[in-house]
Amino acid sequence: MVPRPELRRLGAGYSEERLIEIWERSRSNWHLPQLPRPIIDGSKGGESFPFRNYRIVVDLYMLEKGDRYLENLFDHLIVHYLFCPRSLDAAARLALAALEGLESKDRSQARRMVNIFSDIVVDTFRLERSEEDEEKVLLGWRDLAKQNLSPLDEAVVGFLADLWGVDLPSSDHPESEMLLSVFSWGVRDRSKWPRQCMQTARILES
């Protein structure tokens, strides 16, 4: 049995106190939402889902990324809770929309499409809010871009480079350009989200 890592030392030079300090800074960035404190998963390599029942789960791999990475992660997940999908009802509507857009009607693929769509919405919303938020958003995506990406992820990163007008790896995948038309409306109109999510799923499945 893995010992509870919330004891004094959490790895990568972290203490529980330091982790909570970063968490509280993220909460203050977003008007102190009433969310439980993060917990530490003892595994390494990102195997656990990072948001379970409104509680954020941090693994040792994330801790090794440093304070700014963790603050970006906390901000990102808090905005999922506050803005997109915000509620279980909204998440269910997006899942149905994604399923409608997929020829395969594969539910696990639909869930992945909802995750991609909501990540785009959340980080676009954050990036537009302030220069500090933009810095943190780009830190996370640039870290992702260094990894061995699937063609789908390459298309998404290339699309975001164009959508945001920032220095991320460009893409010659046609899906990148097609996604630009889907998000030409922006991301703030919730009434458009199901249609945008359906179109996103349809494009990225191709």
Per-residue model confidence as pLDDT tens digits over 77-134: 999 999 999 998 999 999 999 999 999 999 999 999 999 999 999 999 999 999 999 9
Helices (H), the chain: 16-29, 60-63, 67-82, 88-101, 107-129, 131-145, 151-164, 174-182, 193-205
Helix (H, G, I), strand (E, B) or coil at 206: coil
Percent of the chain with pLDDT over 70: 86
For residues 19-40, average pLDDT: 93
pLDDT at residue 44 above 50? no
In the chain the first and final C-alpha atoms are separated, in Å, by: 43
Instruction: Pick the range with the lowest mean pLDDT from 40-44, 55-59, 197-201.
Output: 40-44
Confidence class of residue 182 from pLDDT cuts 50, 70 and 90? very high
